[in-house]
Structure 1
Amino acid sequence: MTPLKTSLRHVLLLSRMELIDRHRENALGAAWLLIQPVSFIVLFVTVFSRFMRTRLGTDADPHLYTVYLIGGVLTWNLFANLLSRITPVYSAKAHLIRKINVDLWLMPLHIVIAEWVVYCITMAFFALFLLLIGFPIGAQWLLLPVVTLLLSAMAYGIGIVLGTLDLFIPDVKNVLNILLQFAFWLTPVVYLASILPPWAAKGMHFSPVFWAIDSVHEIVVWHRAPPPKELVALVGAAGASLAASRWLLGRLQSELRDML
């Protein structure tokens, strides 16, 4: 078996372990993979659609803000979860890295696979909810996986860079947690960018995460294809992130293995 096939086999095994271990100690086990998305949808439908829909400036559709919020939060959660789980992956899996010959750049893919399983389950319930309330799902939805895959690729690259640096600078994880909190509120996940001062709204257009969140809102809420410039920019950000992570890990891989 070639090294690449061996590494991919290990990635799939780790993905399975990641999903199983996540709820191993819970009485309902893997059922939580279904319970949590349903609870998430129900919470936003029953609470936010009633009390916060005026944020969109309309009372015509009681579910409009819910759709806006869920679309943004699901996308943000995928990005934030990937970053926060990939960053400590090398230190967390040090015992496995010492035992098996796995490509360190490919190994964190098991986190992406696990997070995408959860994301896809939640999106399936979200789509079902939209069908039940009569909210249209058009052909533009075919672009949704493209946007989220590009965002995931960007998070993957950034996560590997931070995960590599984390072994040399232990404060990286703590700084990341703070930055993610600020980034959440600096991104229009729960509000419209139009409510901000012009300079702040304009500044958001330089954020790759904004490009992804805005693209998802265009697709899900406003039934439009995202602006081509945002998709092109996401491709560039994802490519640059992956290239930087490959380069840095290649430069520091031997020192990284020594520290583990």
Structure 2
Amino acid sequence: MIRSIWSYRGFISGSVKREFQSRYRNSLLGAAWTVLNPLAMIVVYTVIFSQVMQAKLPGVSNGFAYSIYLCAGVLTWGLFAEITGRAQNVFIEHANLIKKISFPRICLPVIVVLNAGVNFAIIFSLFIGFLILSGSFPGMTIIAVLPVLLIQVAFAVGLGMIVGVLNVFFRDVGQFFVVLLQFWFWFTPIVYPLAILPEWAQHYISFNPMVPLIVAYQDVLVHAKWPQWSSLMTPLLVSVALCAIGMRLFRKRVGEIVDEL
């Protein structure tokens, strides 16, 4: 698989470049929309919730605390949502390409991940710049974002592969997943701190594999402290399992995907 991806690296990089350019073609603001969309969400949530939530963030006196808290969750959730959301339709959207050109089909999910990664790199770099200018940069602990990010991407890729393959055969899967993502967002402590929930709610939300990941980002970016690595074992194991299941499902059904499209 890795050899196939490497052999078609030119095709992958060209596809990523073309998709990035076509997304903002004939747009006056171009790639700025990558920043404006999540920024608008952050501004709305900040205006609505800042006065209530600012006092709910324990041990934080920074005036930008809630905005940073939101960014830590919204931006990283956006990466997860983009990978899974694009992966669920990746085979359907590229049906003509799959039927006309012979290439390793695994390249398509790789293109999805790289496109999402480029968009995330742009906006997260600007966020880092904001942290530096506002005096809120967490220092060396910022490197802890990388392993958390790798786990999250693996989780998104595994889940996206499963949903993407199933969506070819059962189109309701994609529709259901869109709705699920909306509920999933609100059942993850992105807008609100986990500590404000009653204990029974915290217990049930703890089963959400995205919670330890988002909390880890918040620990690093808001509180400037290392995440609790032990809490990341569950999402790591879930990510590995989903990737294994996704690859097995893909390899088993890749021939049927062409016929079904």
TM over 0.5, shorter chain: yes
Task: Find the counterpart in structure 2 of residue 150 from structure 1.
Answer: 151
- For the residues of structure 2 that align with 1:104 and 1:171, how far apart are their CA atoms? 22
Equivalent AA in structure 2 for residue 254 of structure 1: G
- For the residues of structure 2 that align with 1:86 and 1:145, how far apart are their CA atoms? 22
- For the residues of structure 1 that align with 2:5 and 2:180, how far apart are their CA atoms? 34
1:257 shift after superposition: 1.5
- For the residues of structure 1 that align with 2:112 and 2:105, how far apart are their CA atoms? 13
Task: Find the counterpart in structure 2 of residue 226 from structure 1.
Answer: 227
Q: 211-220 vs 100-109, which deviates more?
A: 100-109
Equivalent AA in structure 2 for residue 124 of structure 1: S
Q: Taking every aligned residue pair, what percent have the same amino acid on both sides?
A: 30
Equivalent AA in structure 1 for residue 189 of structure 2: P
Task: Find the counterpart in structure 2 of residue 43 from structure 1.
Answer: 43
Task: Find the counterpart in structure 2 of residue 69 from structure 1.
Answer: 70
- The 5 Å alignment of 1:112-151 reads 112-151=113-152
- For the residues of structure 2 that align with 1:131 and 1:44, how far apart are their CA atoms? 23
Q: 7-16 vs 43-52, which deviates more?
A: 43-52
Task: Find the counterpart in structure 2 of residue 93 from structure 1.
Answer: 94
Q: 6-15 vs 185-194, which deviates more?
A: 6-15
1:38 shift after superposition: 9.2
Q: 156-165 vs 56-65, which deviates more?
A: 56-65
Contact map agreement 1:138 1:223 (CA 8 A) in 2: yes
- For the residues of structure 2 that align with 1:57 and 1:258, how far apart are their CA atoms? 55
CA distance 1:97–1:222, change in 2 (3 Å): same
Q: 120-129 vs 181-190, which deviates more?
A: 120-129
Task: Find the counterpart in structure 2 of residue 244 from structure 1.
Answer: 245
Matched, 1:18 2:19: yes
Task: Find the counterpart in structure 2 of residue 194 from structure 1.
Answer: 195
Q: Where does the alignment leave 5 or more consecutive residues of structure 1 unmatched?
A: none
Task: Find the counterpart in structure 2 of residue 212 from structure 1.
Answer: 213
1:222 shift after superposition: 1.2
Task: Find the counterpart in structure 2 of residue 107 from structure 1.
Answer: 108
Matched, 1:79 2:89: no
Contact map agreement 1:140 1:219 (CA 8 A) in 2: yes
1:161 shift after superposition: 0.8
CA distance 1:31–1:194, change in 2 (3 Å): closer
Task: Find the counterpart in structure 1 of residue 179 from structure 2.
Answer: 178
1:9 shift after superposition: 2.5
1:153 shift after superposition: 1.3
Contact map agreement 1:10 1:102 (CA 8 A) in 2: no
Cα deviation code 1:190-217 (max 9, x no counterpart)? 1011111112112222221111101101
1:145 shift after superposition: 1.8
Cα deviation code 1:132-151 (max 9, x no counterpart)? 11113221110102211211
- For the residues of structure 2 that align with 1:91 and 1:191, how far apart are their CA atoms? 36
- For the residues of structure 2 that align with 1:170 and 1:37, how far apart are their CA atoms? 28
CA distance 1:22–1:12, change in 2 (3 Å): same
1:63 shift after superposition: 0.9
Contact map agreement 1:49 1:62 (CA 8 A) in 2: no
Task: Find the counterpart in structure 1 of residue 8 from structure 2.
Answer: 7
Contact map agreement 2:5 2:106 (CA 8 A) in 1: no
CA distance 1:254–1:120, change in 2 (3 Å): same
Task: Find the counterpart in structure 2 of residue 164 from structure 1.
Answer: 165
Equivalent AA in structure 1 for residue 43 of structure 2: L
Contact map agreement 1:188 1:210 (CA 8 A) in 2: yes
Q: Where does the alignment leave 5 or more consecutive residues of structure 2 unmatched?
A: none
Cα deviation code 1:17-53 (max 9, x no counterpart)? 22112111313434544x5379559837974686452
CA distance 1:139–1:64, change in 2 (3 Å): same
Cα deviation code 1:209-256 (max 9, x no counterpart)? 111101101111111111121232232122111101110011111111
- For the residues of structure 1 that align with 2:65 and 2:177, how far apart are their CA atoms? 32
- For the residues of structure 1 that align with 2:44 and 2:98, how far apart are their CA atoms? 41
CA distance 1:256–1:77, change in 2 (3 Å): same
Contact map agreement 2:42 2:74 (CA 8 A) in 1: no
